[in-house]
Chain A
């Protein structure tokens, strides 16, 4: 399937609904993501962002509708879905290198390909020097880089990121956001990036979906047609940021 911009549709979400008893958390959400697209999703706290991501990653079953990858119902055993969680998810008993390799091990990458990919991704995120240290010997930002590297390493069909840099300070955030853009451009993965930080969303994404309050639906869609690297004081950047902010004024 080809969408209007000329790119192939990779992910399609159809009527995604999630209810807990009588509480409707997600109400018939429909959208699609093009192959290699970087999509950001912003929404107010408590609007069900985490539930949304858990449904997308198939961690919890949906109450209705589904998510399709390349036309098939998404299945973690079949598709490469990666998830970068808000909190660092490093296994303390594995070195940095082994942590990054974990996803590829589960996916049963052949040894040689695994090692090759491992070295290149470690180099790409600047973890080569620390590859043999344990997670408790590296900083918090490095732990999150481990998770990001692990996620990109499996060539994901879909990479979900749940406010991955929410716990880091502003300077590191900028640095890691640039690194994320670099990874995405190099590896051409399809990314859904969830955040409540509007500036961050405008800084990284090609397109932004704005969610409404519960029952959550898509309130608006904003295209960000700015070249990378972006400048936060660029008037166009500021305009888009203001536009998104207006959409979610009732936060």
Chain B
């Protein structure tokens, strides 16, 4: 075929470098704790964390649940909150970008709520929902909705005006231009929003759980502090980190498939 795709190979050193950097990071961490440069009461060595990780896979003590239970609770809270924020934030942002009426209606309220840090809602949430699942879902929802709205809105605003004119000359309606031109051209920004919202949701989840929870990774971290077990704190942090990274990679993969034509 005349139009063959070109395959580019990653050079060997680019494959080795990330592995090297991870090894160096954990190696020096282990080193400074084991040699006593940093006392073990202040920071746990990676090997201690791994040991605790293995124990926590099966032992619910001393914090009341095994690791998978904590992770599952957090994942559930973050997942529901994240999905709800996408469900509300993306349509809202996209329509705000194109329909002036929607923008006029929602922008003032949005601008008022936007600067309030999500964790400031915690007290009200406890009044409304107690310390159960839905209070945290609400905080995560508030956290995730802001980048969704802004990115979707800006994405629609960045639509190439000539494409809109082109559609108009064919007689496309406002709605057709919105769905067939503005929304697809906002997609790269929307996928950016998915990543940013995820980060916001995940960070605020831990914030919410630190203050009001009886299970979850944030709770695990605060229990570690109360029980003076730095390895438990680090285990909670590392699990949060890995969880976020895995979801990020998944979103990236989906994005690459869907945006084939735009970013190749």
Contacts and interface: CB of A to CB of B under 8 A. Distances in A.
Given A76-B169, A106-B172, A92 B261 contact: yes
Interface string A101-116: 0110111000000000
Interface of B: 2-3, 160, 162-163, 165-172, 176, 180-181, 184-185, 187, 259-262, 264
A174 interface: no
Contacts of A94: 184, 261
Nearest to B187: A93
Contacts of B168: 59, 76
17 contacts: A85-B162, A85-B166, A89-B162, A91-B181, A91-B184, A91-B185, A92-B185, A92-B261, A94-B261, A102-B180, A106-B176, A129-B3, A134-B260, A134-B261, A134-B264, A136-B261, A147-B166
Interface string A79-97: 0011101010101111100
A243 interface: no
Contact of A137 (B3, B162, B169, B259): B3
Nearest to B181: A91
Contacts of B259: 93
B interface secondary structure, majority: helix
Contacts of B184: 91, 93-94
A190 interface: no
Contacts of A102: 167, 170, 180
A232 interface: no
Contacts, number: 73
A108 B260 CA distance: 26
A249 interface: no
Contact of B170 (A78, A87, A137, A154): A154
A82 B170 contact: yes
Nearest to B176: A106
Given A81-B171, A92-B261, 5 more contacts: A75-B171, A82-B169, A83-B165, A94-B261, A136-B264
Interface of A: 57-59, 75-78, 81-83, 85, 87, 89, 91-95, 102-103, 105-107, 129-130, 133-137, 147, 154, 160
Contacts of B181: 91
Contacts of A133: 3
A26 B262 CA distance: 39
A106 B170 contact: yes
Given A76-B171, A106-B171, A107-B171, A89 B260 contact: no
Given A77-B171, A129-B3, A133-B3, A93 B261 contact: yes
A125 B247 CA distance: 45
Given A107-B171, A130-B3, A133-B3, A89 B166 contact: yes
Contacts of A93: 184-185, 187, 259, 261-262
Nearest to A99: B261
A81 B168 CA distance: 10
A102 B179 CA distance: 13
Contacts of B166: 83, 85, 89, 147
A68 B23 CA distance: 74
B239 to A, nearest CB: 37
A142 to B, nearest CB: 11
Contacts of A106: 167, 170-172, 176, 180
Contacts of B167: 102, 106
Nearest to A129: B2
A91 B181 CA distance: 8
Contacts of B172: 106
Contacts of A154: 170
Nearest to B163: A89
A105 B187 CA distance: 21
B170 A107 contact: yes
Contacts of B261: 92-95, 134-136
B120 to A, nearest CB: 39
B259 to A, nearest CB: 7
Nearest to B258: A93
Nearest to B165: A59
B262 A76 contact: no
B162 A87 contact: yes
A87 B261 CA distance: 19
Contacts of A135: 261
A95 B162 CA distance: 18
A95 B3 CA distance: 14
A95 B261 CA distance: 7
A59 B3 contact: no
A81 B165 CA distance: 12
Contacts of B162: 85, 87, 89
A82 B176 CA distance: 17
